[in-house]
Chains A and B, each alone.
Chain A
């Protein structure tokens, strides 16, 4: 930002003067690592990064941005995988990592009131002595923030039984794009009128900024049983997934990892003891009352064996259980060692279609000479095909991009959707048309424009530009299309 416009200089000065702002960064080097979140294929350069400490400060930041006609983007830990926190060029990045207090824990009603920068796993750790936990558990839970989870409506392995973030968020305090502070939802979970809380969760920071949230805490189950089933074929493992659900058992989590994923995890610090000779493993967690879990375990083992499982075993103790999960949650990062770059996809299909969809995706990758590894929240039919590549190879990069589109095409043709949990962001904004036609998109634009008529709040994310006016619409600007 060598030659800042006077207006920009004035804006930074105004941001610095806000009382409950901890810090404003605007140096070239300081801004550089904020170019991208965990989705690194597109990047943008913010004008400044600002660290508010209170809702009041957030309001003043929004007022300052509005006065300067500058857009703003919220950011938590920057672990998102669809570019939701990627700055649009020249915006103000509002970094919530220092609004990280747990304000209240209500054991009787099993709720917690938290600021948006609280780290997901920290909340669970904090309430663990009370026999409670916060159920949504994205793989990045050791680093990601609750605010980011709310924006993306994040899921995780335990989403299968406990749901995504939305059902766990009761009430949120939000700064709207006109800088007013409102509360959406109710602490007791009963709301009248439009469910604006529901609208807000998963809106990817395009409707306003969450400054406080009341979330549900879930009692720890009486018994937990984690099973590891290995299969000699990927299709067999996928069929077992459908079989388990069809049998009436609802596991707390039902994850699938293929051999390439196993190889990467076992070579990393998160080595979990997954069998290296299996073509795929299922990680199945059952929880609840002891009697029920025992019965469910029998049923799951039977289904797996019917689908030619090589082996089914249960974690013998808490340490092994934790190791199995650490391996699963470190899997994405562990892929990093396979090649310089990694593209993590996220799509959902009806789980009965998993066997054919996974096979088709693998074939398509092989045809393009790409290395693809599969991690699935299989119980939900949520696929995460991971493509390892080297962006410095332009030809390979082109094939990766084509592959990305093909994966989505295959999933949508099988009756699926674009994203299970990572969000649309900038990554999949333009793919929204594969799923929705203009008539479907238009009501989303109405909703957006009702909240953010000036289009300053995380612009250019989530909703594709109307076709007719793509050139003139400001939503199309930004994001250096450097490598992708």
Chain B
């Protein structure tokens, strides 16, 4: 087996596939296995396929490539795996190998890579693009397009349009935001690529809550996309370039943490093992660790929390967001069935694997229908968009928010109390 990877780019981490002992405990955790019942659509099966490719017992083209694309990369299997298989890492390698060997559609691969590198990966172009979208929404063109069903002439556009959240104003904070009251420390805020453009209000809420709790917030000007989406799609080189930019942008000293409010980004930043990784904290994790001043403003809301996969499975953070929301007076946390299952967003999965994504979205919506909360809280932009789109389609009276939005609201209500 010495020449197991001959003729290949060797991007599949063969040694890491051997950590899997084929026990099968991952099967019930895997959304695509639950849906299809096929061994090849299970984590164990996919690892076996990777191994088969590396051992040159199986071609990469065809089924193997398809199964690697059908995987959500939700990493629920990692939470179930007793052998500690690094499935997310294996998947990235396999996808990179697929692209290196040109084992999937060239057009799709190149357009995906182009958009992720040049639209998502570049702040300037993303800003311009989202500004256009915002105009599209506010000019009521969107309402017209949706109503007139003109969009359905171009299904990919219709799908993308259905996912669009109500775009708030972009968030452009100053480079330093001073702490309010007693100063407890200094953190750097990783603002993300999509977050400041599509979820400006949530980014603003994040900074407000940090500042309100005594943290000075620095927002490095030159930062950008974390590279997670690119890496998940097999573009390891593109991801590395983005990481390099962030390494240069963030200060290495004088801050307590680099705080991130997007679970996919915090997982990716923690795992890339560079100079930033050790300092990265998800916002919920950070606040729960340092402790917050409980807000005095009341929110009479039933809140269901849905775990973002890359927070729960990628970072093993389950209690922190719940603990934070429990500190809001009036909030009643209700258990959402299937809260640890993927919603189908999975980065750009809901655009590339529409059918599976909407099956998983349906499950989430069904759970919401049964639970009937006022608010569905989750801490990742992809999940926020995916669940909100499902809620809109099902016409459920559920508001979809980031946990930090709720905290900020509760703090905002305090000022009303003070008058």
By a beta-carbon cutoff of 8 Å, the part of chain A in contact with chain B is 22-23, 25, 27-30, 32-38, 40, 49, 51, 77-79, 95, 97-98, 119, 122, 140, 142-144, 265, 267-270, 330-337, 340-342, 390, 392
Chain A CB within 8 A of B102 CB: no
Least distance between B42 CB and chain A CB atoms (Å): 8
By a beta-carbon cutoff of 8 Å, the part of chain B in contact with chain A is 1, 15, 18-28, 37-40, 42, 44-45, 48-49, 52, 57-59, 62-64, 67, 78-85, 316
Kindly identify which residue among B15, B52, B64, B83 contacts A337, using a CB–CB cutoff of 8 Å. B83
* Chain A residue with the shortest CB-CB distance to B57: A32
A38-B23 contact, Cβ under 8 Å, with A269-B84, A337-B84: yes
Q: Beyond the given A33-B40, A122-B28, please list 20 additional residue pairs across the A-B interface where CB-CB is below 8 A.
A: A29-B40, A29-B49, A29-B59, A30-B40, A30-B63, A33-B39, A37-B22, A97-B37, A140-B25, A269-B81, A330-B82, A332-B21, A332-B82, A333-B21, A333-B25, A335-B21, A336-B20, A336-B23, A336-B82, A336-B83
* Chain A residue with the shortest CB-CB distance to B44: A33
Q: Are A28 and B38 in contact (CB under 8 A)?
A: no
Least distance between A117 CB and chain B CB atoms (Å): 9
11 residue pairs bridging A and B, Cβ less than 8 Å apart: A32-B49, A33-B48, A79-B25, A143-B26, A269-B78, A332-B23, A333-B25, A335-B21, A337-B84, A340-B15, A390-B18
Measured CA separation A333–B81 after assembly (Å): 7
Kindly identify which residue among A22, A23, A51, A144 contacts B24, using a CB–CB cutoff of 8 Å. A144
Q: Are A334 and B83 in contact (CB under 8 A)?
A: yes
Q: Are A38 and B24 in contact (CB under 8 A)?
A: yes
**Interface Cβ pair total, 8 Å cutoff:** 120
Q: Are A142 and B28 in contact (CB under 8 A)?
A: yes
Least distance between A273 CB and chain B CB atoms (Å): 16
Measured CA separation A72–B82 after assembly (Å): 32
Q: Are A330 and B39 in contact (CB under 8 A)?
A: no
Measured CA separation A79–B21 after assembly (Å): 11
A32-B82 contact, Cβ under 8 Å, with A78-B24, A336-B21: no
Q: Are A267 and B84 in contact (CB under 8 A)?
A: yes
Q: Are A119 and B21 in contact (CB under 8 A)?
A: no
Measured CA separation A265–B84 after assembly (Å): 10
Measured CA separation A340–B85 after assembly (Å): 11
Least distance between A422 CB and chain B CB atoms (Å): 12
Cβ–Cβ < 8 Å partners of A35 in chain B: 48
A27-B85 contact, Cβ under 8 Å, with A32-B52, A33-B40, A333-B21: no
Kindly identify which residue among B15, B23, B49 contacts A33, using a CB–CB cutoff of 8 Å. B49
Q: Are B23 and A333 in contact (CB under 8 A)?
A: yes
Least distance between A402 CB and chain B CB atoms (Å): 21
Q: Are A331 and B28 in contact (CB under 8 A)?
A: no
Q: Are A79 and B23 in contact (CB under 8 A)?
A: yes
Q: Are B24 and A29 in contact (CB under 8 A)?
A: no
Measured CA separation A30–B46 after assembly (Å): 10
Q: Are A28 and B45 in contact (CB under 8 A)?
A: no
Measured CA separation A322–B22 after assembly (Å): 24
Cβ–Cβ < 8 Å partners of A144 in chain B: 24
A269-B82 contact, Cβ under 8 Å, with A36-B22, A143-B27, A144-B24: yes
Kindly identify which residue among A22, A98, A342, A392 contacts B21, using a CB–CB cutoff of 8 Å. A342
Q: Are B62 and A29 in contact (CB under 8 A)?
A: yes
Cβ–Cβ < 8 Å partners of B25 in chain A: 79, 140, 142-143, 330, 333
Least distance between B323 CB and chain A CB atoms (Å): 16
Q: Are A33 and B24 in contact (CB under 8 A)?
A: no
Q: Are B84 and A268 in contact (CB under 8 A)?
A: yes
Q: Are A333 and B83 in contact (CB under 8 A)?
A: yes
* Chain B residue with the shortest CB-CB distance to A339: B18
**Max chain A CB contacts within 10 Å: which of B48, B63, B81, B83?**
B83
* Chain B residue with the shortest CB-CB distance to A482: B57
Across the A-B interface, the 8 shortest Cβ-Cβ residue pairs:
A333-B82, A336-B83, A29-B63, A340-B18, A330-B82, A336-B21, A33-B45, A79-B24
Kindly identify which residue among A22, A30, A331, A341 contacts B82, using a CB–CB cutoff of 8 Å. A331
Measured CA separation A342–B85 after assembly (Å): 14
Cβ–Cβ < 8 Å partners of A143 in chain B: 23-28
Cβ–Cβ < 8 Å partners of A40 in chain B: 21-22
Q: Are B40 and A98 in contact (CB under 8 A)?
A: no
Least distance between A272 CB and chain B CB atoms (Å): 11
**Max chain B CB contacts within 10 Å: which of A79, A143, A268?**
A143
Cβ–Cβ < 8 Å partners of A77 in chain B: 24, 27
Cβ–Cβ < 8 Å partners of B85 in chain A: 336
**Max chain A CB contacts within 10 Å: which of B27, B49, B52, B62?**
B27
